[in-house]
Amino acid sequence: MHTRTLGSDLPVSALGLGCMGMSQSYGPNPGSREEMVGVLRDAVDAGVTLFDTAEVYGPFVNEELVGEALEPVRDDVVIATKFGWRIGADARGLDSRPEHIREVVDASLRRLRTDHIDLLYQHRVDPDVPIEEVAGTVAELIAAGKVGHFGLSEATVATIRRAHAVHPVTAVQSEYSLWTREPEDGVLAVCDELGIGFVPFSPLGRGFLTGTMDTTTAFTADDMRAGLPRFTPESIAANAALVRHVTALAADRHATVGQIALAWLLAQRPFIVPIPGTRRISRIRENLGAPAVALSADDIADLNGLADRFGVTGERYNPSQAQYVDR
C-alpha cells in the first residue's frame, strides 16, 4: 500500500477510510454490525491504516464500532475522531469549550477502546470559542498522552494560521473533489506553507463521482443526500456531463470512474490523503487501486478544468448545514 505523511510525522496509507456511512447518513445499512466489523478488519488487511470517525456519527455508535473492530490491531492503525458538537435530546449546535473538549476526549477513548486518539479534529469551528483556546486545550491533551495530533475540519485560512501558531496542526479535513473545489482558494496553499496534511472527505462526491447515479436514483428519508441541493433530479441531470467526461477517461485508462477521481486528488499535492467512505470491502479494494492509476500531465490539466467547463449545479449543503461552515 502506498503511504503518505500528514504533518511532519504521522505516516498513513495514501487512502484512508471514512467510517461515518457505516452508522448513518446514507440510508439503510446493507450489513449488520458484525458485517461492518468484518469490513473494517478486511480494510486493515487490504492496507488501510487511517480510519476516520466522530462522536456525532450515530451519535456515538460509530466510535463504538470502530473501537470494537480495530482493538485487535490497534498498534497498526491510525484512528481519527472529532469533537465540537452539543449532543443530546434537546441539544443542538456547536460546543468547543475547553471543559467540553476534555469530556468528549475521555468518552471517545472509552468508546474507541484505546488509551490515545491518534488524530483529534475540531469537527467545526466554533465562533463562540477562540480557536487559540481550542488549540491550547488540545495541546494539553497531547501533553497528557491522550491525543497524538491536532486537526481542524472545514476551517478557513485565517483559522488555520491562528490555531497553528498555538500548536502545530497536523491535518485539515474538508470536502474536496472534482466537483467541490473550495480548498483551492487558499487552504491547500496554507497547508503546503505550514507543513500540514490535507484530508478530503467525500472525495467521490457522496457517491456521485462513481458514475452510479442518474435522475432515477431514489434516496430514502434517512439518506442525507435527499436533502442536499446537489442531489435533486435537476442537479443530477445538470451535473451528469462532468461524470460522462470522467467516465470516458476512465475507459481509456482501464480504470473505474472512482479511481480516476481519487487519482486526480492524489496528484494535486503529496500531502493529500482522501478518505472515501463505503460499507463494502469490494469498494475499498477498488479505491485502493487509485494510487496505481497513471494520469498524464494533460489528463490532470483536463480534470482540473472540469468544474469550470461544465459548471456544478447545486450547493453542497442546505442552509441548516451551511451555517456551521467556517467563514
* Spatial contact of 7 and 50, defined as CB atoms under 8 Å apart: no
Instruction: Please give the C-alpha separations between residue 145 and each of 26, 109, 164, 322, in angstroms, as whole numbers.
Output: 35, 12, 19, 34
Residue 203 lies in a domain: yes
User: How many CB atoms sit inside 10 A of residue 156's CB?
Assistant: 18
Partner residues linked to 122 by β-bridges: 83, 152
Residue 294 lies in a domain: yes
For the question of residue 57 being annotated catalytic, the response is: yes
Q: What is the structure's pLDDT at 23?
A: 93
* Spatial contact of 108 and 137, defined as CB atoms under 8 Å apart: no
Residue 83 lies in a domain: yes
Mean pLDDT for the chain? 96
Q: Is the pLDDT of residue 90 over 80?
A: no
* Spatial contact of 283 and 25, defined as CB atoms under 8 Å apart: no
Query: For the residues 221-248, what does the mean pLDDT come to?
Result: 96
pLDDT tens profile 130-149? 999 999 999 999 999 999 99
HEC sequence for 43-112: HHHHCCCEEECCCCCCCCHHHHHHHHHHHHHHHHCEEEEEECECCCCCCCCECCCHHHHHHHHHHHHHHH
pLDDT tens profile 267-284? 999 999 999 999 999 999
Q: Is the pLDDT of residue 91 over 90?
A: no
Q: What is the structure's pLDDT at 88?
A: 86
* Spatial contact of 22 and 29, defined as CB atoms under 8 Å apart: yes
Query: For the residues 159-177, what does the mean pLDDT come to?
Result: 98
Query: For the residues 64-80, what does the mean pLDDT come to?
Result: 98
What would the grid cell of residue 11 be?
505516516
Given the C-alpha cell 442531489, which residue does it identify?
Answer: 231
Q: What is the structure's pLDDT at 12?
A: 98
HEC sequence for 210-264: HCCCCCCCCCCCCEHHHHCHHHCHHHHHHHHHHHHHHHHHHHHCCCCHHHHHHHH
Q: Is the pLDDT of residue 173 over 90?
A: yes
Fill in the amino acid letter for 37: V
Partner residues linked to 318 by β-bridges: none
pLDDT tens profile 16-44? 999 999 999 998 888 899 999 999 999 99
- Cα–Cα distance between 244 and 229 in angstroms, integer? 20
C-alpha closest to that of 176 among 78, 266, 265: 265
> If pLDDT is split at 50, 70 and 90, which confidence band does 1 have?
confident
* Interacting residues of 249 by C-beta distance below 8 A, sequence separation 6+: 260, 299, 302, 303
Q: What is the structure's pLDDT at 29?
A: 85
Domain containing 244 equals 3-322
Query: For the residues 227-254, what does the mean pLDDT come to?
Result: 97
Q: What CATH number should be reported for the domain holding residue 73?
A: 3.20.20.100
Q: What is the structure's pLDDT at 183?
A: 98
What would the grid cell of residue 274 be?
482522501
- β-pair type (10-13, 3-6): antiparallel
* Spatial contact of 2 and 12, defined as CB atoms under 8 Å apart: no
> How many domains is the chain partitioned into structurally?
1
- Cα–Cα distance between 132 and 167 in angstroms, integer? 9
C-alpha closest to that of 77 among 114, 123, 36, 121: 114
The helix (H) or strand (E) run that includes residue 3 is strand 3-6
Q: What is the structure's pLDDT at 298?
A: 98
Residue 268 lies in a domain: yes
Residue tagged active-site, from 26, 57, 121, 176: 57
- Reduced to 3 states, what is the DSSP secondary structure of residue 150? strand
Q: Is the pLDDT of residue 180 over 90?
A: yes
> If pLDDT is split at 50, 70 and 90, which confidence band does 89 have?
confident
Q: Is the pLDDT of residue 59 over 90?
A: yes
Residue 33 lies in a domain: yes
Residue 327 lies in a domain: no
Please report the DSSP string for 162-203 in residue order.
HHHHHS-EEEEEEE-BTTB-GGGTTHHHHHHHHT-EEEEEST
> If pLDDT is split at 50, 70 and 90, which confidence band does 92 have?
confident
Query: For the residues 307-320, what does the mean pLDDT come to?
Result: 95
pLDDT tens profile 187-220? 999 999 999 999 999 999 999 999 999 999 999 9
